[in-house]
Structure 1
């Protein structure tokens, strides 16, 4: 199963305060929009997303189709393929993507301890797959 790039998405109380904290740890802003209350920070291959007022709790996030530096992969397992494989393995999904859809899509599930996992594909499915 190819889940793609990994990041932690943190629900923060104050975006500016959290940004300053992670910058003190050596992270730098590489994406997002502070005016929309979200930023993406990177320290080498480690990615942390900061989100103020967008969701409750923290998320483990996987992005099919991207490498750890947000470069589009030539070949990857589409989110609809992942959904089918998870269904076959008996994994319960809280949010499903349209199995007949194309392009972007996302799934959401929780691990046995209630940690939320988001599988969020932002790129088009490879041609011929």
Structure 2
């Protein structure tokens, strides 16, 4: 399975403090809007999303169709294909937000330890 770009989405209490902390250890702002309550920070191939007030838990995120620089790739497993593969393996789907036959969509699962995993396709 090609899950795409990986990042961890952190539920932060203070976006400015979190941004300053991650900048101190080498991350730079890659995308996002502080005024909208989120930033995507990057250090090499490592991506961390900082989200204030958007969700309660940290989330592991995969973006089918993107590489680690959020650039579209030619060959990838569509989120709809991934959903069917997860289901066929007996994985319970926590949230199914699939819309249409192609393009952006998402679904999520919860791992055995309660960690949310979001499969979020933007292309």
TM-score category of the 2 structures, normalised to the smaller one: over 0.9
Q: What is the count of residue pairs matched by the alignment? A: 123
Q: Which has the higher strand share?
A: 2
Q: Give unpaired runs (5+ residues) of structure 2.
A: none
Q: Distance in 1 between matches of 2:101 and 2:18?
A: 36
RMSD: 1.0
Aligned-partner Cα distance in 2 for 1:71–1:102: 18
> What's the CA shift string for 1:20-70, capped at 9, x where partnerless?
000000000010000001000000000000000000010000000001111
For residues 67-98 of structure 1, the C-alpha deviation after alignment (integer angstroms, 9 at most, x for no partner) is: 11111000110000000111111100011133
Displacement over 6 Å in runs of 4+: none
2:88 equivalent to 1:96: no
Residue 101 of structure 1: how far off its partner (Å): 2.9
State TM-score, norm by structure 2: 0.97
Partner of 1:61: 61
Task: Specify the SS of the correspondent of 2:96.
Answer: coil
Q: Which runs of 5+ in 1 are unaligned?
A: 124-129
TM-score of the two chains, using structure 1 as the length reference: 0.92
